[in-house]
Amino acid sequence: MSQKDLLIDMGFTDRKFPVSTHMCLIYNSEDERKKVISKYLHSGVLHGEKVAYLADNATRSEVGKWLVELGVDIQSPDVKKNLEILEAENVYCSGGYFAPDKMLDALKVFQLAAEEKGYSCLRASGEMTWALKGIPGSEKLIAYESRLNDLVVTHPFVALCQYDASKFDGKTIFNVLQVHPYMIVKGDILSNPYYITPADFLKTYNN
């Protein structure tokens, strides 16, 4: 079975989804976020997948604590090898600016490396509040998110993008909905009725 055909357990819902799943979590509280994200990460670790977490609000120790609370030994060699907790700003904005092409290329390399090392899949999640810091190029975030939908098909991996509804404005949140095929609502993953394919979305989006 190829990675494209593999169905995986997201951890917080009973249904399984393809590896090439791009979804958003628009949350209103830290408790709401933690309930979803901790189980999502736990499932990846439990199944021996390559798990990458790009943290901005949370610290490495906080994310580690979420997993410890679910019974994960984060000091074990396997977990240390399979789980990477990185600073989102350093990954998205290496060099001090955000360049979508550069980030998409980096994800390709990361996904191929995980596949070559024998991981069943790459599971990633990013806290997107880094985009609110005025970093050059951050205005290109939504266009990048749209293009990510093509990447997860050619280089299959799971992407869960986190948006704090109390920090992003309404226009941005609506744009976020338009570029994610799936959204997480009350702990379940739903097909997004607002989603627009990259081919159509990028025709009219200015940034």
pLDDT at 176 over 80: yes
Query: What is the model's pTM?
Result: 0.95
Boundaries of every domain in the chain: 3-204
Burial call 186-206: b when 16+ CB within 10 Å, e when fewer:
eeebeebeebbebeebeeebe
Q: What's the whole-number average pLDDT of the chain?
A: 95
Tens-place pLDDT, residues 5-17 = 789 999 999 999 9
pLDDT tens digits, residue range 25-60?
A: 999 999 999 999 999 999 999 999 999 999 999 988
Contacts of 129 (CB under 8 A, 6+ apart): 56, 57, 88, 164, 167
Confidence (pLDDT) at 205: 87
C-alpha to C-alpha distance for 141 and 117, rounded to whole angstroms? 30
Q: Give the mean pLDDT of 74-88.
A: 93
Q: What pLDDT sits at residue 206?
A: 72
**CATH assignment of 3-204, given 3.40.50.300, 3.40.640.10, 1.10.10.10, 3.30.1320.10?**
3.40.50.300
